[in-house]
A and B are shown apart, each in its own frame.
Chain A
Amino acid sequence: MSASLLHYRAWQGSWRRPFWAVVPIARVALGMLLRRKLFWALYGFALLLFLMFFFGSFLLDWAETHLAATPIQIGRLKTEPERAVRFLRQGVRVLNGSQETFAYFFSYQGAMVLVILALAGSVLVGNDFTFRSVGFYLAKPIQPRHWIIGKCLAVGVIVHLLTTVPALVLFAQHGMSDWNYVIDVDYFTASAAGNGPASWLLLLGIIGYGTLLATVLSIVLVAAASWLRRTMPLILVWVSLFLFLRIVAAILVDGLKYDGRWRLLDLWNNLGLIGQACLGFDHGSIRPAPQPAFWEAGLALGGLCIACLISLKMRTRDVPIVR
């Protein structure tokens, strides 16, 4: 070990701005998570739902074309093809590629996202505090905000991988199943009412819903994991936020008939409400009723995010002295 071996060239280039550091920070966090087999197992499990949505429409098409000819007999149970197809269509009616399809998809897939984030929070964020790796980061030419953004970016990528990306595949599947777009130049704009496949508004709604989930969940997770660090406390808080408060809100509004604004306690409902607004749902059609207004849900989410960011600022201000 001799200083004579210090032969790297003096840096002649210009430094990239500190903001660029968010990319390696996110990459490091993702690298930590993607190495874990448990993550891939959960990701594969989460994709089962996507596969159900993906092949559900094919199942419906197949049933409509193949079950029409002959009566169906399963054991002693015999039924007419029309009834079977009607039953099947009723079961998979939400898989037609409409806004309802994506509302259900985000809702179900979101539950899996919550589970994965609760388990991954300590790896993505908490370990930086537990092992004091933050000290290495903040000794580099970056500010705490860059670390926060980098971590949020990593969480956002996970959320998008689980929700937005599969949803876009579903959108493409439903959009492309109708080949009219090849010959009809007005195909996308003409169906822009937001209620059917191949609608630009629907596409924007899907991206908006995914971005909303990624933004809010990443800020909440990074804030929670930076204080709690370990997996178990994080799971407890996560369950309280997304399950306990949901039950409380349901009891207050549905059971005790309190005002619908009490549903603002339910963070997941707020996310769903704004997400469905992105998808173009009318407020009156959203169940369960009554629901708070869209702007009220947005305000609640915004307030939560601001509180989390303030807490993160406090957490990273004197971070190296935290044990």
Chain B
Amino acid sequence: MYDKTVRRRRAVLALLVVLSLILLTAYFGEAPGGRLHSVQRGFLTVVSPIQDGANKALKPVRDLVGWFGDTLHAKSQRNQLVKQVDKLRREVIAEEAEKHAYRELLGLYHLDNRLSVSDYHPVTATVVAKSPNIWYSTVTIDKGEAAGVRVNDPVINGEGLVGKVAQVASIGAQVSLITDSSVGVSARIGTSNATGIVQPKVGDPNDLLLQYLPANTQANRGEYVVTSGTVSSPDDSLYPPGIPIGEVTSVNEESAYRSVNVHPLANLHNLDVVQVLTAARGSLPANLSRVAASLPPGQSAGASTAGEQLAATGSGG
């Protein structure tokens, strides 16, 4: 009985294995149009409607299971997209910063061409620090003695005069802005020959005052105030003539001298790239500056003829 059962079991197994191998061999060996392939296609034709029906009937189940999978997939996708957005945002910020710097450099380039400041050996520097108080009267730049920057060198940007170098280190310098009380710039209004001194307005550090103008000076609101190219004191630097400083906002009628309120053209709250006019030793502006500094104090005031002569010489006549 046991032997019979064992024999039958083994026979069934052998039969099924052999049948499988025959099927396999026959199917593998025949052409796609063969009988077994036809049987398979026929079976598919019969089963297809059942499969289709089962598919439709089980669609809600599939959708439910798929919903969980899709949710998990969507979550991972969302995390990926958040990372991608962060990356793109950083790229956009970097691009905007580059564009901003490019615009500033372009402005400087145009100003250089307009004013012919190439004789002053302009050194382009980046503002690396701003004074944290509300006055914004000093900024720190990333170029110093190593780049030829010296104390009192004028500093400009694409909009106009920014200030002058106050202190110099080897690889950096501190710039006093024109709104700083220590800065005084010889300036004139438009095409007028009358010169005065631009200084910060007392009580309003964001505004400037052009003082010591002759009483008969004609000044109108909206006129531009530019550097005159003269020095106002022996310690001052020689600013190239014609650099825009600001715009006349109002005229003050005073007794002996006339003064006008000037709003700076340069946006001193948003400085990124500036140029330091280093005026290398031996150059014409440097020599003129040295001559001006050696003049007696009485002759170097804003209205001095010596300063005006220097201005005329410095600007090339």
Partners in one complex: no
